[in-house]
Amino acid sequence: MPSPCFQGNECGGTGFHVKVPGMDNDQEPIRVRFAPSPTGHLHVGGARTALYNWLLARKSGGIFILRIEDTDISRSTEDNIRQIMESMLWLGLDWDEGPDREGKHGPYRQMQRLEIYRRAADELLGSDKAYRCFCSKEEIAAEREEARRASRAYVYSGRCANLKPEESAACEADGRGFVIRLRAPSGGTTVVNDLIRGEVSFDNALIGDIILVRASGIPTYNFAVAVDDSQMGITHVIRGDDHLPNTPKQLMVLEAMVKPAPAYAHLPLILGPDRTPLSKRHGASSVEEFRVRGYIPEALCNYLALLGWSYDAETTIFTTGELVEKFSLGRVGATAAVFDNDKLLWMNGYHIRNLEPEKLSLRLEEYIATTRLSGLPGTGGRPGIEELIPLAQEKMKTLADFVELTDFFFLPPTYEDKALAKLRKDELAPEILIRAAGILSGIEPYDAETIEEALRRAADEMDIRLGKLLQPVRIAVSGKLVTPGMFETLAVLGKEKGIDRINAAIKMARND
């Protein structure tokens, strides 16, 4: 359903149309891109944008492109580029074309595409759709100030729009720097046909002759994006809401270059609890931080997908495969969403519980290497990760929880103050511990089932509840108030270690 894009005086009659590939009987594959600016790590907002692009590409058998927008040379770094790619791969968002996967539309870093922008600018200059502007920054600032005083929107005056060739040449000979501006329509409206918001129109008179190329020769964002999207054959531009007001500018550039426009979908922002755009101020906000805190990509993708998109009224849990199958732009909402750590945490626990144990074991192995348990599991007679997964999996909400839940299997227990206090307050504790140590020493085979049987019998004989008996034992062997199931814990810990710790705790229980 093509719709007129410009209805202005200058171009209303030209019948420029927006092409919406993939939305009708068009057979061309969808080509989408994620275009981060490497001025920081991959943020959850950016991750969601990348995810939606990736989902659409994978769902339709299209192409997902990673393009680095590094024209802000003062803030872009190589390290950030590497980090962003690492985070994307960790999430499972792989790209078909990108800085390390050159395709016929490359290169994929804007600073390596300067020649392409130069050619595009020259063409526009040649066809008089753009012109050189020699106004100094001071002159522009004065215009802006004047507009402000008159309480008018600032629009470039167009002072250099009609410079004669000899005037232009004279200025250049004078050594005055210049920018290249688009000769933009001064009247009419530009309408953006957004897949999420519908038609949004902008008054051309309020936009003016935007700068295409800076005095430094580096293109501005709006120019580079329009050139790249066009040259890379992008069919759908899916990006943050903050770009909506930029879209008419890009449409104007495309129009001047006589290129078709892609379809646009502007995603609402992700907010912090205070309803301002999510940022570092709100705590964890980069994908990397979530990885370090023990979140798994399945959960982060699921959560991010649901932040702005829904499948139906009921379903909240999706595997990444299901997301690929079910995602659609049509069901993306238009309202900004507050990032809810509680829900993400719950979802992370859910996905951890649903991981196959072997898979969880692999994840933990990698994760533990970065913690104080590094190198310990499975060495020196200590249990391996796979032995502990049955005890810990259903209790973990993050991979980090595994460390807290199982450290006493690998290291001598450190007695928590609260646990110690509890042990000392329990008058029966010494007796229970002495008895437990005795019972345990006679158990054969030393497995969870046999231990359970014996300890249950003991509780019966002492006429106390099982919990009453187990709690001192728990504290004795772990130093904690919370552990995996006691019978399994004792079995995996081993007879000798268990009894030693219980004996040691008897003294503590007596307040010695």
Residues classed as catalytic: 280
Told to check if 283 binds RNA by CB under 7 A, we report no
Distance CA 14, CA 70 (A): 35
Pick the closer one to RNA by CB: 152 or 372. Answer: 152
Told to check if 429 binds RNA by CB under 7 A, we report no
DSSP of 375-438: T-TTSTTPPPHHHHHHHHGGG-SSHHHHHHHHHHHHS-----HHHHHHHHH-TTHHHHHHHHHH
Span 96-155, contacts to RNA by CB under 7 A = 135-137, 140, 144, 151-154
- Which residues touch 134 (CB under 8 Å, ≥6 apart)? 160, 163, 168, 171, 172, 176, 177, 178
Are β-strands 270-271 and 337-338 bridged in parallel, bridged antiparallel, or unpaired? parallel
Pick the closer one to RNA by CB: 128 or 314. Answer: 314
- What mask of x and - would describe binding to RNA in positions 470 to 499, judged by CB under 7 A? xx--x------xxxxxxxx-----------
Query: Could you tell me the smallest distance in angstroms from the CB atom of residue 379 to RNA?
Result: 26
Taken in order 373, 356, 307, 65, is the CA torsion positive or negative? positive
Q: How far is CA 157 from CA 154, 221, 261, in A?
A: 9, 21, 28
Q: Which of 308, 314, 294, 318 is nearest to 340 (CA)?
A: 308
Told to check if 157 binds RNA by CB under 7 A, we report no
Distance CA 313, CA 123 (A): 51
Told to check if 505 binds RNA by CB under 7 A, we report no
Span 340-399, contacts to RNA by CB under 7 A = 340, 342-343, 346, 349-350, 353, 394-395, 397
Kindly determine how many residues on this chain lie close enough to bind RNA according to the rule CB under 7 A. Answer: 84
Can you say how many angstroms the Cα of residue 502 is from the centroid of all Cα atoms in its chain?
47
List 53, 83, 222, 320, residue binding RNA (CB under 7 A): 222
202 in Cβ contact with 13 (< 8 Å): no
List 50, 244, 376, 509, residue binding RNA (CB under 7 A): 244
Q: Which of 138, 200, 134 is nearest to 169 (CA)?
A: 134
- What mask of x and - would describe binding to RNA in positions 189 to 218, judged by CB under 7 A? --------xx-xxxx--x----x--xxx-x
Taken in order 213, 214, 218, 219, is the CA torsion positive or negative? negative
Query: Could you tell me the smallest distance in angstroms from the CB atom of residue 54 to RNA?
Result: 18
Question: Which of these ranges, 116-124, 242-250, 376-384, 406-414, lies near RNA under the rule CB under 7 A?
Answer: 242-250
Query: Could you tell me the smallest distance in angstroms from the CB atom of residue 198 to RNA?
Result: 7
- What mask of x and - would describe binding to RNA in positions 318 to 347, judged by CB under 7 A? -------------x-xxxxxx-x-xx--x-
Told to check if 271 binds RNA by CB under 7 A, we report yes
Question: Which of these ranges, 50-58, 86-94, 120-128, 465-473, lies near RNA under the rule CB under 7 A?
Answer: 465-473
